[in-house]
Amino acid sequence: MKLDFSYMEVVAKPTISEFKEVSLETLTSAMDRSAIHTFGWPIAVVLHTNEGKPKPITNGIESKIENLGHREYWCLMRTGEFYFIGELFENMRKPESVFIDTRTNRITETFLRIGKLYSILGMPEDEKIELMIKHANIKNKVLAVANPARMLFEKRKCNVPEVKTDFLISVKEMLCPDSLKKNVYMAIRNLAEMFDMFNPDKAGFTDRIVDSFLKGRIA
């Protein structure tokens, strides 16, 4: 499927656990309980309206939202596989840009959301999960920031159409602050480097954003 807007894509799959005996209602409840509202509209939101609520599919559940400025699709399968694709927040604010601080918040949310989801479903905290985080349709976008207190003085454009980072990571590593900071930085560095080799500062930038997010604040 070819999309005409910039988007974030996430795929997560446990290496061992499956949830074949789990009801679709339980999968829906786990998705709802693991949603993180710190940023506003959560990644893979669970709506409670008749039209918007998750729908059953063979061996799983899915949700599709097609509001202008918020287009997303997600599904969770009894195999344990989770899939999400969603429009970037930046598209309705400054469509020519990618906000590096917003991406840091959203990637932080992704790790925490998936870690909480699998924890609620009873997955052992040391089990490894194959995780992919991708940003796409971003070629020629300009690196920027959402927070007006920050400034980027150089106009850095993205030189590639998409950036993908793969992880083999446990539930515990997704939720532990120190490993969370390490992995968020890895994903953000990989993304930022495609904008004329920009290298964000871990301690002074990404770690601070993660710390604030963990306290329920957007920095």
> What are the structural domain ranges in the chain?
7-214
Q: Kindly report, residue by residue over 178-195, the tens digit of the pLDDT.
A: 999 999 999 999 999 999
DSSP class per residue in 91-108: GGT-TTEEEHHHHHHHHH
Q: Is the pLDDT reported for residue 150 higher than 90?
A: no
Q: Are 103 and 188 within 8 A, CB to CB? A: yes
pLDDT at site 160? 98
d(CA 23, CA 99): 39
The model's pTM: 0.95
Q: For 135, list phi and psi in degrees, rounded to 5.
A: -115, 130
Q: What 3-state class would DSSP assign to 211?
A: helix
d(CA 147, CA 185): 18
Task: Identify which of 183, 178, 162 has the alpha carbon closest to the alpha carbon of residue 12.
Answer: 183
* Distance set, CA 49 to CA 34, 55, 67, 140 (Å): 18, 11, 14, 38
Per-residue exposure over 197-214, b if at least 16 CB sit within 10 Å of its own CB, e if not: ebebebeebbbbbbeebe
Q: Kindly report, residue by residue over 77-129, the tens digit of the pLDDT.
A: 999 999 999 999 999 899 999 999 999 999 999 999 999 999 999 999 999 99
d(CA 206, CA 219): 10
pLDDT at site 1? 58
| Other Cβ atoms closer than 10 A to 21 | 7
